Amino acid sequence: MTDIISVEVDRRLCVLCAGPNDCVMAKREAGEEAEDPCWCVGQSFPDALTKKANKVDGGASCICLSCLEAGA
């Protein structure tokens, strides 16, 4: 028998620092208005940074601009 753990994730928060990530898609999912395109369009995210984020929540939430710039 396998236990299943359910965790609710607020996708509007950065997966690395828990600050606002300003993700357009996450804002819309939460019922907020948001204009296209998202700030992340055209940005390059280093593999090490995305791997770190994926370890936290499996890629459910976006990384914020501050963490991208800092290379968190």
Residues in the chain, overall count: 72
Residue partners of 67: CB distance under 8 A and separation at least 6: 14, 16, 17, 49
Q: Which residues pair with 20 in a beta bridge?
A: 13
Pairwise CA distance, residues 30 & 15, whole Å: 16
Torsion sign (Cα): 14, 19, 24, 26: positive
Q: What per-residue confidence (pLDDT) applies to 60?
A: 86
pLDDT computed for residue 59 by the predictor: 85
Q: What is the pLDDT of residue 57?
A: 87
pLDDT by residue, tens only, the chain of 72 residues: 678 776 677 889 999 999 999 999 999 988 999 889 999 999 999 999 999 999 998 888 899 999 999 986
pTM for the structure as a whole: 0.81
Q: Residue 1 has what pLDDT?
A: 66
